[in-house]
Chains A and B, each alone.
Chain A
C-alpha cells in the first residue's frame, strides 16, 4: 500500500498476524456458503434427481424404480419431436424478430432520445411489472377475429400470403403459429432491448464522428463501427430471448391451438396431469441438453466467452 507502512520491518511481530490472516482467507468462503449451498441443494441436486427419474420405470401406484430404461428417451423423442422442432423454430423466429425490432429502439434510446431517454427507458421496463399473463391475455383481444388488426391485415392481403406460408389460417390470426410467435416476441422483447441498450450506450460518440470524418456513410459507420461494438449486447440479448422462449408454453397455450403446442406444454402435462414422471423428466433433460449445446456453440462462434 504505502511506503510508510513498509518502513519499520518488524521481525518481532511475525508470529502474530497468522491467525487474522487465515481468518481473512476464509472470508470469501463464508460469504459464498449460504448462497452456493442454496443453489447446490435446490438447483444442482434436483437435476441429479431428474436424471435418475428419467431412467426409472414403474407407475404411481406401484412406485418407481431405477431400471436404466434408456428406451424412455427414444420413445419421448419419437412421440414428441414435432413439439421439439416447433419450440426451437418458434423461439428462433421470435429471437430474430426481437433483434430486428429491439435494435432500432435500443439505438434510439442510446443515441437519439436525448432528454426523453429516461421516459422511454421507463416505458420499456414498466411492462415488466404488469403481470405478463395479463398482458398476454390482452393479445387475445388485439388479435381477435373481428378485431382491427385482423381487418387491416386482411385488407392489405397480408393474411393471404401468411396463410399460404402456413403461419395463419384463412382469416384468423389467433390460434395460429403467427399469434404464438407474436406473443413470444412481445414477451421477451425487453430481455433483448436492455442488453442491447447497455452495450450501445457504452460506445463513445466520438467514434461515430471519426468514422464520418473518414468519409464513411452512415450505413458504413453502422456496419463497421456500431454493430461490431454492440456484439456483446447482441449475444446476451439473443441468449436471454432464445433460452426462455424455447421452454415457454404460456404463449402457445393462451394464443395458440393444439397444433401449436410447444415442448414445455408437453412436459407440464406429463408431469402434472398424466403423472408419467420418467417421460416428463426425459423430455425436460433433452430440452436442457439441446439448449445448452446450442448456447455453447453460439457463444463459441460469436467469440465472447467472457459473458460468463
Chain B
C-alpha cells in the first residue's frame, strides 16, 4: 500500500499541518464573514456577499472609540512595562545581590497565577483605596501583568550576550554611557523589541483583567464581549481581519530584517 507508506513517512508533517489549519481556521472564518451581509443582528450564518462593512469600518457606534482607547492603553502599557522590565532584566542578569531569589519568584508569580485571581485582587485594592476606575486603573493593571513577560524576554537575550564585548569597549576607552548606548543596547535590542511586542499584544488583547478594573470605560475587547450578547456587527470582523493582516506583515518584516542582519554578519 503505497498510500499508507506515504502517510506513515509524512505523519509528522501531516499532523503539524492539521494543527496549523486548526489554528488558522477561525481567522479565515473572520475574514470571510467580514464580507457578509447578515439578516439579523447576529453575524453567525452566511447570507450574501457585500463590501458594506469594509467601506464603513467605523459605522458602528462606539466601536472605533473603544479601538483607539485600546491602542492608547496598549502603547502606554508597552512603554511602561518595557522600561521597567528591561531595567529589572539587566539587574537580574548582570549583578549578584541579596534577595535575588525572592525577586525572581516575585516576577514569576504573576505568570503562574490565573488572570481572574489577579483581576479580582487588584479590584479589591482599588475599591479599598477608593480609586476611580477607568483609564488609569486599566493602565496600572496592564503594566503590572506585562512586566513579567518583558523581563523574561529581555533576560533571555541579555543572558546570551557576551560580556567581553562590553569589556572590550571599555578597554578602548569608551565611557559607561557610550558603552551602554553603542554596545549593550544594540545587542539587547532584539530581546527588548520582542518584550515590547509581547507587551503590546497582551495589553491590547486583555479582557479578563480589564473587565474587572475598567469601571464604565469600554476597551475594544470589552466592546466585542458586549456585542456578543447584543449582536455582533460585521465591522468587528473587518477590524479582526485588518489586525491579522497587519500582524502578519509586521512579523514577516521583523523576520526579514533579522535574516538580512544574520546574513550580512557572516563573512
Interface residues of A (CB under 8 A from B): 1-2, 25, 27-29, 31-32, 34-36, 38-40, 42-47, 49-50, 53, 101-102, 104-105, 107-109, 112, 118-142, 144, 146, 186, 189-190, 239-240, 243-244, 246-250, 254, 264, 267-268, 271-272, 277, 280-281, 284-285, 287-288, 291-292, 295, 308
CA distance A186 to B184 in the complex (A): 39
Beyond A131-B243, A134-B236, A135-B240, list 8 extra A-B contacts (CB 8 Å): A43-B122, A104-B16, A118-B252, A118-B255, A125-B251, A126-B244, A129-B250, A272-B211
Q: Which residue of A lies closest to B88 (CB)?
A: A35
Partner of A123, one of B23, B127, B221, B228: B23
Chain B residue numbers with a CB within 8 Å of A49 are 121, 124-125, 128
Chain B residue numbers with a CB within 8 Å of A38 are 84, 143-144, 147
The answer to whether A243 and B114 have CB atoms under 8 Å apart is yes
The answer to whether B106 and A107 have CB atoms under 8 Å apart is no
In chain B between 201 and 255, which residues have their CB closer than 8 angstroms to a CB of chain A? Answer: 201, 204-205, 207-208, 211-212, 220-221, 224-225, 228, 232, 236-237, 239-241, 243-244, 246-248, 250-252, 255
Partner of A141, one of B29, B95, B106, B248: B29
Contacts across chains A and B counted by CB atoms under 8 Å: 260
| In the complex, per-residue mask of B142-170: 1 if CB is within 8 Å of any chain A CB, else 0 | 01100110010000000000000001000
Tell whether B97 is near chain A: CB-to-CB under 8 Å: yes
Chain B residue numbers with a CB within 8 Å of A144 are 44-45
Chain B residue numbers with a CB within 8 Å of A308 are 104-105, 108
The answer to whether B87 and A105 have CB atoms under 8 Å apart is no
A-B contact pairs, 21 of them (CB 8 A): A35-B151, A42-B140, A42-B143, A43-B106, A50-B120, A102-B19, A118-B259, A122-B248, A123-B248, A128-B201, A129-B246, A131-B204, A134-B240, A135-B26, A189-B19, A243-B114, A248-B115, A248-B208, A249-B208, A277-B127, A287-B117
Nearest CB of A to B245, in Å: 9
Nearest CB of A to B202, in Å: 9
Determine the main DSSP class of A at the interface with B: helix
Interface residues of B (CB under 8 A from A): 11-13, 15-17, 19-20, 22-27, 29-30, 33, 44-45, 84-85, 87-88, 90-91, 94-95, 97, 103-118, 120-125, 127-128, 140-141, 143-144, 147-148, 151, 167, 171, 201, 204-205, 207-208, 211-212, 220-221, 224-225, 228, 232, 236-237, 239-241, 243-244, 246-248, 250-252, 255, 259
The answer to whether B20 and A247 have CB atoms under 8 Å apart is no
CA distance A125 to B108 in the complex (A): 23
CA distance A292 to B118 in the complex (A): 13
Nearest CB of A to B51, in Å: 19
The answer to whether B112 and A239 have CB atoms under 8 Å apart is yes
The answer to whether A288 and B240 have CB atoms under 8 Å apart is no
The answer to whether B87 and A244 have CB atoms under 8 Å apart is no
The answer to whether A133 and B207 have CB atoms under 8 Å apart is yes
The answer to whether B95 and A138 have CB atoms under 8 Å apart is no
Nearest CB of B to A204, in Å: 17
Asked whether A138 and B26 contact (CB < 8 A) given A126-B248, A264-B208, A308-B108, the answer is yes
The listed residue with most A CB atoms (<10 A of its CB), out of B109, B117, B247, is B117
The answer to whether A281 and B124 have CB atoms under 8 Å apart is yes
The answer to whether A244 and B26 have CB atoms under 8 Å apart is no
Chain B residue numbers with a CB within 8 Å of A1 are 167
Chain A residue numbers with a CB within 8 Å of B106 are 36, 39-40, 43-44
Asked whether A108 and B16 contact (CB < 8 A) given A135-B240, A247-B115, the answer is yes
Nearest CB of B to A257, in Å: 14
Nearest CB of B to A126, in Å: 5
CA distance A293 to B141 in the complex (A): 25
Q: Which residue of B lies closest to A118 (CB)?
A: B255
Nearest CB of A to B9, in Å: 10
CA distance A124 to B148 in the complex (A): 22
Nearest CB of A to B29, in Å: 4
Chain B residue numbers with a CB within 8 Å of A42 are 122, 125, 140-141, 143-144
Partner of A280, one of B84, B120, B241: B120
Chain B residue numbers with a CB within 8 Å of A36 are 88, 103, 106
Q: Which residue of A lies closest to B24 (CB)?
A: A123
CA distance A92 to B144 in the complex (A): 27
The answer to whether A190 and B243 have CB atoms under 8 Å apart is no
Chain B residue numbers with a CB within 8 Å of A104 are 11-12, 15-16, 19
The answer to whether A247 and B117 have CB atoms under 8 Å apart is yes
Chain B residue numbers with a CB within 8 Å of A246 are 114
Nearest CB of B to A270, in Å: 9
The answer to whether A186 and B124 have CB atoms under 8 Å apart is no
- 10 nearest A-B pairs in the assembled complex, by CB-CB distance: A247-B114, A108-B16, A129-B247, A104-B15, A35-B84, A28-B95, A46-B121, A31-B91, A138-B26, A50-B121
The answer to whether A250 and B144 have CB atoms under 8 Å apart is no
CA distance A61 to B87 in the complex (A): 45
Q: Which residue of A lies closest to B232 (CB)?
A: A137
CA distance A244 to B202 in the complex (A): 13
Asked whether A128 and B120 contact (CB < 8 A) given A27-B95, A264-B114, the answer is no
